[in-house]
């Protein structure tokens, strides 16, 4: 009797677990949607939800995405866990294609890197003559600077600019802080610590209302500050099982008239941030 | 989907993932913990050491290991479980099982020796002995389950890595709080946090009620 | 059940507790084992009920040694019952505790409830059937433990100082229950006690256990009136009396 009632509890528990697992498994059936890996910066601009909705309306293809660091996004492609990647790190993209993980590359749009910092601007970035010059002024003043230090497109650009100014970022003192995080988190930190940082204008304008202690200090269309976005379908030869046709359709739509006009019209808090420059071999 | 619909879906998935993980972990951990708790000191010492080391296993590390396992490039790739709720459950089972096992083992081993002797003298066989001891330790075992569930519902690193926080698929309360903070949507984040606490409060009050009945 | 103990030796590490016990207990008798604390009485009972394994010696139950196979061994164990000095009751009420042994033996309803109710009634515990075990008084708890032990009708009942902590009323009730159980079932009872008066009241024969050895065995009136061994005389005349 007592042992029978114990047995009843165990049976109830097993049934509950089986039902729960069945529901979970049902929700985990192999996906029918196209899965993209992109960066947190891209997510933070807010471009993706409306743009992907438009794509689905036009083609009937559903797209979902994971938003991670640039490195992890490309790695997801290398592992075959996603069907297409959208990043903004041309050097790393070239490696991705060369290693046969990427099938082809379509350039779709660019936005601009900007330098933001405390409104007081003690380093005088507002008066800089070029982007490297702006960073040189920050260095001269030893003003606090937040670096993403995460091998993202933004981070790679930042290091290139220090080099262009003739400075070695590896030798910087404690004024140079590494956040190892995405653009949004880095901006939050810069806001809290009244520091300078390099950001893409998409994330900046998306977050501007929440960053009261920061101001836009260097915002020019220097070609060196171009943040180029591309979309790369994952190579089905190397990763069989990826939804290659749909990925190609996606890449083509983005450089086609519908995609490009959407990108050009997209505004963040009243600012148009993306310049469509669709071209490529997909 | 409306905002309310989103929150509902996220909350439901949090509950499903944490609940399923806790149920599965309980079914694995309680029998093993009971058997190990009944063994005399010494013979289970190595197992006990391994177990206590697993307490210190960071959930993110468990998440990373499960990620490497489930990735298309990994050994279980063909199962296509990465970025799915079932993958998240697997990661959480890895995290929660040692906790429930360890506490169960602990409470079972501290059940008075005389309980075993008395049941033995009344003619219990090995299975009946285990059930009797487990029954005496029931309140403690329920505590183990509550602690395990707490770990599961509040976990964020592993479910982020293995789930990918994909909209409409693998977004839960904790991962959404992370992305909200990254986008400075603090109000939304706090609201989700409150929902999470309410969820936990409801579950715990149910479990407490059951536990009250198991007190001597 | 008859019990035959031969040359039983039990040590705990370096400490020898039982130093060669020889005893023959006849079926149906109430056999008291008396002696001071630490003499080895509890150890002997625990050896008989398979809780301890002796170093050397043998125990025969109805002439046969312990079976090696698990199923017959459990069957033998289920013919033996024990009531210890401080009862350990399981989580639950009195009825749950009393019916425990019946559940172990897969007794079904309605027989289970009937036998449980009868056992509780015999110990005057019917009103307390639904009372939680943890709130019972010492006497009530011991009566539940006794009912729990005898409801399964063991052929051999081991009582280890089972009324040592109780008030005279409860001692009375429990001694009456022992007598009645022995009379109605013919079961063998081994009564470990350091209370000479209880031994006199209940037992047919008495053995004196001193420092791990049986000093003397005798029938009840003679053991007390005419002990053969001087140590026995010292014991019964009052040096160790309760």
pLDDT digits (tens, 9 = 90+) for B37-47: 888 666 667 87
Q: Name every chain B residue with its beta carbon within 8 A of the beta carbon of C82.
A: 121
**Which pLDDT band holds residue B4 (cuts at 50, 70, 90)?**
confident
Note whether A282 and A86 are within 8 A (CB). no
Q: Do the bridges between strand A226-233 and strand A214-218 make them parallel or antiparallel, or are there none, so unpaired?
A: unpaired
**Answer CATH for B3-212 from 3.40.50.300, 1.10.3720.10, 3.40.50.1980, 3.90.226.10:** 1.10.3720.10
B120 vs C contacts (CB less than 8 Å): 50-51, 77
Distance of CA A218 to CAs A51, A108, A128, A170, A210, Å?
A: 29, 24, 8, 24, 19
For chain C, the C-alpha Rg in angstroms (whole number) is: 18
Q: What is the mean pLDDT of residues B156-169?
A: 95
What band does B216 get if pLDDT is binned at 50, 70 and 90? confident
Find chain A residues with C-beta within 8 A of B164's C-beta: 66, 68
Helix (H), strand (E) at residue A265: helix A257-265
In angstroms, the separation between the Cα of residue A242 and the nearest Cα of chain C is: 59
Report how many domains make up chain C: 1
Longest CA pairwise span in chain B (Å): 66
End-to-end CA distance of chain B: 50
**Helix residue spans in C66-190 (DSSP H):** 70-77, 94-104, 111-122, 138-150, 168-185
A185 touches chain B (CB under 8 A): yes
- Are the C-beta atoms of C210 and C36 separated by less than 8 Å? yes
Q: Is the CB of B23 less than 8 angstroms away from the CB of A13?
A: yes
- Cβ atoms of A25 and B86 within 8 Å: the answer is yes
User: Which residues 6+ apart lie within 8 Å of A214 measured at CB?
Assistant: A116, A117, A118, A119, A187, A190, A191
pLDDT score recorded for residue B50: 85
C88 vs B112, B128, B214: nearest CB: B112
Please report which confidence band the pLDDT of residue A266 belongs to, taking 50, 70 and 90 as the band edges: very high
Mean pLDDT of A131-152: 94
Taking an 8 Å cut-off on Cβ atoms, the answer to whether B183 and A81 are in contact is: no
Task: Answer for the pair C63, C4: CB distance below 8 angstroms, yes or no.
Answer: yes
- A1 contacts C109? CB cut-off 8 A: yes
Q: Which residue of A has its CA nearest to B26?
A: A13
Contact C96 A3 (CB under 8 A): no
- Bridge-based pairing of strands A84-87 and A226-233 is antiparallel
Question: B135 CB contacts (<8 Å, ≥6 apart)?
Answer: A2, A6, C90, C91
Q: Where are the beta strands (DSSP E) in A41-152?
A: 63-68, 84-87, 106-118, 145-147
Instruction: Identify which of A32, A25, A36 has the alpha carbon closest to the alpha carbon of residue B85.
Output: A25
| Dist CA A194 CA A146 (whole Å) | 10
Q: Which residue of B has its CA nearest to A186?
A: B182
Domain A34-110+226-280: CATH architecture, name and number where available: 3-Layer(aba) Sandwich (3.40)
Task: Give mean pLDDT in consecutive 10-residue pieces for chain C, a chain of 242 residues.
Answer: 93 91 94 86 94 92 88 94 94 95 92 95 94 94 97 96 92 96 96 90 93 90 87 76 45
Q: Which of B58-67, B180-189, C230-239 has the highest mean pLDDT?
A: B58-67
For position B2, what pLDDT does the model report? 58
In this complex, the residue of A6, A64, A67 whose CB is nearest that of residue B168 is A64
Contact between C133 and B132 using a beta-carbon 8 Å cutoff: no
B118, B123, B216 member nearest C91 (Cβ) = B216
Do the strands C80-83 and C3-12 form a parallel or antiparallel pair, or are they unpaired? unpaired
Q: Is A60 left (phi over 0), alpha (psi -120 to 50) or beta?
A: left
- Residue A113, pLDDT above cutoff 80: yes
Give yes or no on whether A34-110+226-280 and A112-225 have one common fold.
yes
- Does B150 score more than 60 pLDDT? yes
A2 and chain C in contact, CB less than 8 A? yes
A214-218 and A267-268 as β-strands: parallel, antiparallel, unpaired? unpaired
Chain B residues with CB-CB distance to C under 8 A? 112, 114-115, 117-125, 128, 132, 135-136, 138, 214-216
Chain C environment of A2 (Cβ under 8 Å): 96, 99-100, 103
Q: Nearest-CA residue of chain C relative to B122?
A: C101
Query: The domain spanning residue C113 has which CATH number?
Result: 3.40.50.300
The structural domains of chain B, with segments of one domain joined by +, span 3-212
Using DSSP, state whether A146 is helix, strand or coil. strand
CB contact under 8 A, A79 and B85: no
| Contacting residues for A174 by C-beta, under 8 A, at least 6 apart | none
- % pLDDT > 90, chain A: 88
| Chain C CB within 8 Å of residue A5 CB | no
| Chain A, nearest residue to B67 by Cα | A81
Residue C221: Cβ-neighbour burial (10 angstroms; 0-12, 13-18, 19+): exposed
| Chain B CB within 8 Å of residue A9 CB | no
* Cβ pair C109:A3 closer than 8 A: no
Beta-carbon contacts of residue C172 (< 8 Å; ≥ 6 apart): none
Helix or strand or coil: residue A266?
coil
pLDDT (0 to 100) of residue B1? 44
Instruction: Flag whether residue A26 sits within 8 Å of chain B, measured between CB atoms.
Output: no
The residues spanned by each domain of chain A are 1-25, 34-110+226-280, 112-225
CATH classification of A112-225 is 3.90.1150.10, yes or no?
no
Residues of C whose CB is below 8 A from B129: none
Q: Which of A99, A103, A143 is nearest to A121 (CA)?
A: A143
Strands (E) located in chain C:
3-12, 15-25, 30-34, 56-61, 80-83, 156-160, 188-193, 205-210, 213-219
pLDDT at B41: 65
Residue B53 has pLDDT above 90, yes or no: no
CA distances from C111 to C106, C121, C154, C177 (A): 11, 15, 17, 21
Helix residue ranges per DSSP H, chain B: 3-38, 45-55, 59-70, 85-109, 113-121, 126-136, 138-154, 157-163, 173-182, 186-212
Of residues A274, A181, A184, A183, the one with CA closest to residue A229: A274
Residue C236 is classified by DSSP as: I
Our CA-based measurement puts residue C234 at a distance from the nearest CA of chain A, in whole angstroms, of 50
- What one-character DSSP code corresponds to residue B170? T
Partnered with residue C23 across adjacent β-strands are C5
- Is residue C40 within 8 A of residue C10, CB to CB? The reply is yes
* Residue-number span of the structural domain to which C149 is assigned: 3-239
Predicted-complex ipTM score = 0.92
Res. A279: pLDDT tops 50: yes
Which chains touch B (3+ CB pairs under 8 A)?
A: A, C
Question: Is C100 close to A2, i.e. CB distance below 8 A?
Answer: yes
User: Would the CB atoms of A1 and C103 count as touching at under 8 Å?
Assistant: yes
A 39-68 near B (Cβ less than 8 A): 40, 43-44, 64-68
């Amino acid at each position: 009797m007592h042992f029978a009632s114990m047995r009843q509890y165990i049976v109830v528990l097993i049934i509950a677990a089986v039902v729960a697992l069945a529901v979970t498994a049902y929700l985990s059936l192999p996906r029918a949607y196209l899965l993209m890996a992109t960066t947190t910066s891209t997510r933070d601009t807010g471009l993706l939800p409306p743009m992907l909705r438009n794509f689905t309306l036009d083609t009937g293809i559903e797209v979902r995405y994971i938003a991670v660091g640039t490195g992890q996004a490309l790695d997801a492609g290398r592992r075959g866990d996603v069907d297409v990647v959208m990043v903004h790190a041309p050097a790393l993209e070239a490696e991705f294609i060369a290693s046969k993980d990427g099938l082809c590359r379509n350039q779709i749009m660019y936005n601009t890197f900007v330098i933001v910092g405390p409104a007081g601007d003690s380093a005088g970035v507002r008066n800089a003559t070029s982007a490297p010059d702006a960073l040189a002024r920050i260095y001269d003043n030893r003003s606090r600077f937040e670096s993403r230090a995460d091998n993202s497109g933004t981070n790679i650009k930042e290091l290139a600019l220090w080099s262009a100014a003739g400075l070695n970022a590896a030798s910087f003192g404690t004024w140079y802080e590494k956040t190892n995080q995405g653009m949004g988190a880095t901006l939050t930190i810069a806001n809290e610590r009244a520091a300078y940082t390099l950001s893409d204008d998409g994330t900046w304008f998306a977050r501007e209302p929440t960053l009261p202690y920061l101001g836009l200090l260097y915002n020019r269309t220097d070609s060196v500050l171009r943040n180029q976005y591309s979309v790369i379908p994952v190579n089905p030869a190397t990763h069989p099982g990826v939804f290659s046709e749909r990925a190609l359709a996606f890449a083509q739509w983005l450089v086609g008239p519908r995609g490009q006009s959407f990108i050009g019209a997209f505004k963040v808090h009243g600012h148009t941030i993306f310049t469509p420059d669709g071209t490529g071999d997909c | 989907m409306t905002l309310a619909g989103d929150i509902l879906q996220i909350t439901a998935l949090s509950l499903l993932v944490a609940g399923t993980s806790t149920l599965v972990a309980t079914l694995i951990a309680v029998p093993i913990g009971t058997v190990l708790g009944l063994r005399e000191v010494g013979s289970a010492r190595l197992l006990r050491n391994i177990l206590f080391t697993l307490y210190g296993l960071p959930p993110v590390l468990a998440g990373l290991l499960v990620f490497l396992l489930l990735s298309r490039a990994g050994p279980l790739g063909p199962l296509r479980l990465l970025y799915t709720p079932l993958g998240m459950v697997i990661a959480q089972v890895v995290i929660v099982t040692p906790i429930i096992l360890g506490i169960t083992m602990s409470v079972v081993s501290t059940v008075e020796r005389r309980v075993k002797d008395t049941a033995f003298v009344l003619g219990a066989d090995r299975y009946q002995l285990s059930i009797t001891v487990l029954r005496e330790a029931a309140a403690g075992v329920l505590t183990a389950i509550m602690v395990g569930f707490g770990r599961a519902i509040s976990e964020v690193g592993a479910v982020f890595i293995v789930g990918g926080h994909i909209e409409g698929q693998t977004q839960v309360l904790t991962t959404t709080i992370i992305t909200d903070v990254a986008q400075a949507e603090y109000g939304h984040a706090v609201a989700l946090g409150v929902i999470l606490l309410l969820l936990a409060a409801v579950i715990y009050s149910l479990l407490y009620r059951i536990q009250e009945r198991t007190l001597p | 059940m008859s019990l035959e103990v031969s040359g039983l030796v039990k040590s705990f590490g370096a400490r020898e507790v039982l130093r060669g016990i020889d005893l023959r207990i006849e079926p149906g008798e109430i056999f008291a084992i008396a002696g001071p604390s630490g003499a080895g009485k509890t150890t002997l009972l625990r050896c008989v009920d398979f809780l301890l394994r002796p170093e050397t010696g043998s125990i025969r139950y109805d002439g046969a040694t312990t079976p090696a196979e698990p199923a017959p061994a459990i069957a033998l164990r289920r013919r033996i019952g024990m009531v210890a000095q401080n009862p350990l009751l399981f989580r639950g009420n009195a009825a749950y505790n009393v019916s425990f042994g019946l559940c172990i033996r897969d007794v079904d309803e309605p027989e289970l409830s009937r036998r449980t109710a009868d056992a509780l009634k015999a110990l005057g515990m019917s009103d307390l059937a639904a009372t939680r075990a943890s709130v019972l008084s010492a006497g009530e708890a011991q009566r539940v433990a006794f009912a729990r032990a005898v409801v399964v009708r063991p052929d051999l009942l081991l009582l280890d100082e089972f009324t040592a902590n109780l008030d005279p009323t409860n001692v009375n009730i429990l001694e009456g229950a022992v007598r009645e159980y022995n009379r109605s079932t013919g079961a063998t009872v081994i009564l470990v006690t350091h209370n000479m008066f209880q031994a006199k009241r209940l037992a047919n024969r008495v053995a004196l256990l001193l420092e791990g050895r049986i000093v003397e065995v005798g029938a009840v009136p003679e053991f007390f009136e005419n002990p053969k061994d001087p140590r026995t005389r010292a014991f019964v005349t009052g040096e160790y009396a309760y």
